Amino acid sequence: MRVAFGWRLAMVMPLSLVVYAAASHALLLAGVALPVWLLPVALGVGVVAAAALRVPRTAIRPISERGAWRLVPWGAAVVLAGCVGLSWWGSVVTPDRSWDGLVSWSFRAHYLAPPADLNQPFFTDPAVFAHSATYPLLQPLVLGASQALLGPLWGRSVFPLWMIACVLLVATTLSIHGLRSGYAALGTLAFALTPMWYSIGSGAVDSGYAELLLVLVLLVAGCGLLLDHAWMVAFGAFLLPLVKPEGLPYAVLLCLVAGFDRSVRRTVHLWACGGMVIGLLLWLPLRQFLAHRPPTFAWWPLALGAALLVGTELATRVLPRRAVPWLLALVGMAAVLVCTVFPQPLETLLAHCSPGLAVSVDHLSRRFQQLPTMLWGYVQGLLFARKFGLIFPLLGLILLAPRRFFGPSPRPALVGLVVGGVAMGCGSVWFSPEGLEHELESRFDRLLLHWVGPAWLLVFAWIGGLADRRVAADCPATRTRLAP
Amino acid sequence: MSQDLPRIACRLTFLCPDDGGRERPVCDDPNYRPHLVVEGDPESTFLGVQFTGEGTELVPGFDHLVHLVLAYWPDVDYRALVPGARFTVREGGRVVGSGVVVEHSPGRATQFGVRLVVLAVLAHLLFGLQRVPAKALPKRLAQIRDYRTRGDIGFHVGRLSPESVPAVELLRARTPPDSVVLFDGQWRGAMELASALLHPRLFLRRDAVGKHERTAHGRPLARATLPGLGTGTLVLVGDADRLRLELQ
């Protein structure tokens, strides 16, 4: 009962975000100024929708804690309250103190505060200085509305609230998945005590960066995959392209893993693709507007979403199970072949599709020469305990250990999402136009931070309950008579 | 039987033949390998198990305490068989009994692996717990003190290039908030901070307006008198991380 209430409470924030994102993007597309009451209304709709949402259930029923383990959730709650309190105070005590928080996110939030629309020189005139002009607008929209309602400082309370939503999601999802409350509390605490959340630089809760919101959305998607909950996955896929540019490839990855994991229900894949397509339908016309000059293939992500839906459905429904790996290998080989035979047209095509990426053969060969530095940078980033603690070494241990130690994964799709996301972060270094040193020092850690939430979720869902060797306290006999 | 395979202790009751159970009672020995289906499992996964007793007859209609080996671990996920979980015993599609898990004994390798992970998690928690009060809080306090002492412009622009601070402060002090500030040179670096700190002033590229224009987008261009340079439209010029003011 308490877990169901906590899960609904955790879902209020994602649901409100979905409602606000859909409404605000639609209004901006229609050229209508955003009303100031839109955010409270979205919050109200979120509360009602969360109350109406079906609480997922699994076959695993957690056993109750005994002895000292009973104190673990209470201890965790005290520590979490302290951590959230610190972040809350750090958020509202001064305006932005971090670079990107100021120049990239809060700056645009000023221009999007209600009543505002996109018909202002800041968005329409390319000669006006606008940092990150083509970045998605969800965080500036929410922050602007919140600051319009609560003032410039207290409006920044959205950041600790997002952190609270993340913490609640991890705790309740692990509980619903069947972990004892002590293990669920440890998992939540491990996520919340990731040192980077409390650093004074990029990615911290109170820094104003969009990393936290992206982590919340990825957590919604990850929890949906773990619990096989189609709505949650759809919300994640819908919100991902609206939060950060990285959200689009993450959404594609989410659709892929949901499609290829046969332990996930079909509807989850369909809803994921549907969510992504709706998100793109709202975002792509706005991005074209913001970019001033529409790129040649501005609608390619939408085509990609549709292709993903059809392709994955065909591959998993029509083809026999054994043929799927062969099909994937064939597609990969064909891609390599096309890249080798037609490098120039492909380079032009990719440059049109993703103007922010460096995809030239020269650039990639230069990166190849820097391979040792790059690999060392990856290792340093993944093992950097002062930022991520021990999550990535732990994840590596569980993934690479022989299966007799940890058994099968609780959900292959979640493994695919986390591993694929980390691999994407590593791969993005190859295609970044920035210098390698700068990329590894200032961006790579944030790309890894995105996966901290789903990674802790995976680790605890994997090991939780494996080693329980206890007699169930509430274990009645199945019949009244014992055998003689 | 390998010690690496997990086991469960459970109480189970076989159905009487009148209730649709088996005609002949089963014996608790390793030759008997039915499937269990956990109650509440939406997918009704069949979990293959093996009995481990020494041939005792399991009388239908009576409650028995038996030990089962989870025979297909780790290829099959038996996580649902936690203590307290209720299940039915199946022979093919036929339900022949029901039971409840009393105790779960993981294999030795699993015990070792989970202990290792829990130790690592505890190390992670201790590390995080000592860092928040020892590092995060003092650093944040120092940063906030610095922000309050130097003001937003001094804090942001001053860290990058202290010599640029007067130019940005002059713009804030001498130009109306609804004005348009012309800019030129490099936009990366201090210019990014200046444009955000001087909101709601609009930053417009110098070459986007004519030399004798006084307004842009219906707003006045920022003008001021600079000592030794006279009066004119202000242009903020970015040069790497430095900013300087020019008159147009």
Nearest residue of chain A to residue B111 (CA atoms): A467
pLDDT above 60 for A476: no
pLDDT digits (tens, 9 = 90+) for A243-260: 998 998 899 999 989 988
Residue A480 has what pLDDT? 38
| Across A167-191, average pLDDT | 92
Q: Give the model confidence (pLDDT) of A363-385 as tens digits.
A: 888 888 889 999 999 999 999 88
Summarize the confidence of residues A31-55 as an average pLDDT. 94
Top residue of A106, A475, A480 to mutate, by most chain B CBs within 10 Å, is A475
A477 versus A164: which is more confidently predicted?
A164
d(Cα A168, Cα A174) in Å, to the nearest integer? 10
B184 forms beta bridges with B237
Residue from A165, A167, A166, A184 nearest A176 by CA = A184
Q: B63–A97: do the CB atoms touch at under 8 Å?
A: no
DSSP A314-359: IIIIIS-TTHHHHHHHHHHHHHHHHHHH-HHHHHHHHHHH-TTS--
DSSP lists the bridge partners of residue B56 as: B28
**Contact call for A472 and B100, based on CB within 8 A:** yes
More confident residue, B229 or A228: A228
What burial letters (b/e) apply to A74-99, b meaning 16+ CB within 10 Å?
A: eebeebbeebbebbbebbbbbbbbbb
- A133: pLDDT strictly greater than 90: no
**Residue B105 to residue A216: CA distance in whole angstroms:** 36
| For residue A84, pLDDT beyond 80 | yes
* Least confidently predicted of A156-160, A259-263, B215-219: A259-263
For strand B56-58 and strand B86-91, is the pairing parallel, antiparallel, or unpaired? unpaired
Residue B81 per-residue DSSP state: -
Partners of residue A103 in chain B, C-beta under 8 Å:
192-193, 195-196
Per-residue pLDDT tens digits for A405-419: 888 888 899 999 999
Given a contact cutoff of 8 angstroms between Cβ atoms, the answer to whether A26 and A282 are in contact is: yes
- Using a CB-CB cut-off of 8 Å, the residues of chain A touching B99 are 478
Tokens for B51, please give them. 């009995």
* Mean pLDDT (chain A, rounded): 86
Low-confidence ranges of chain B (pLDDT < 50): none
Q: Sorting pLDDT into bands at 50, 70 and 90, what band is A482?
A: very low
Q: What does the pLDDT read at residue A459?
A: 95
Using DSSP's 3-state secondary structure scheme, residue B135 falls into: helix
Q: Which residue has the tokens 């049109």?
A: A352
- pLDDT tops 60 at residue A478: no
Instruction: Say how far apart CA A161 and CA A64 lie, in whole Å.
Output: 29
**Greater model confidence, A329 or A45:** A45
> Does the beta carbon of A384 lie under 8 angstroms from any beta carbon of chain B?
no
Mean pLDDT computed over A92-100: 92
Q: How many CB atoms lie within 10 A of CB A430?
A: 18
In terms of CA atoms, which chain A residue is nearest residue B208? A127
Instruction: Assess whether pLDDT exceeds 50 at residue A479.
Output: no
What is the Rg, in whole angstroms, of the alpha carbon atoms belonging to chain B? 38
Average the pLDDT over A345-368 and give the result.
71
Strands B47-48 and B35-38: antiparallel
Handedness of CA A356, A360, A362, A368 (dihedral sign): positive
pLDDT tens-digit series, residues B1-54: 556 788 999 998 999 888 888 888 888 888 889 999 998 877 788 999 999 888
Model confidence over A278-319: pLDDT tens digits? Answer: 998 899 888 888 876 555 556 777 777 777 777 777 777 777
Q: List, edge to edge, every strand of the sheet that includes B35-38.
A: B47-48, B35-38, B86-91, B94-105, B7-14, B63-69, B50-51
d(Cα A396, Cα A443) in Å, to the nearest integer?
Answer: 22
Spatial distance between the Cα atoms of A109 and A144, rounded to a whole number of angstroms: 4
A201 CB near a chain B CB, below 8 Å? no
Helices A211-227, A412-431: axis angle to 10 degrees equals: 150
Tell me what pLDDT residue A296 has. 55
The encoded tokens of residue A276 equal: 């992504």
ipTM score assigned to the predicted complex: 0.88
Kindly list the residues from chain A whose CB atom is less than 8 angstroms away from the CB atom of residue B114.
406, 463, 466-467
Give contacts of A474 with chain B, Cβ < 8 Å: 84
User: Is A268:A235 a contact under the CB 8 Å cutoff?
Assistant: no
Q: Give residue A210's pLDDT.
A: 94
Interface of A with B in 95-114 (CB under 8 A): 95, 97, 99, 102-103, 106-107, 110
Contacts of B116 in chain A (CB under 8 A): 397
The chain A residue lying nearest B13, using CA atoms, is: A478
Indicate the DSSP class of residue A128: B
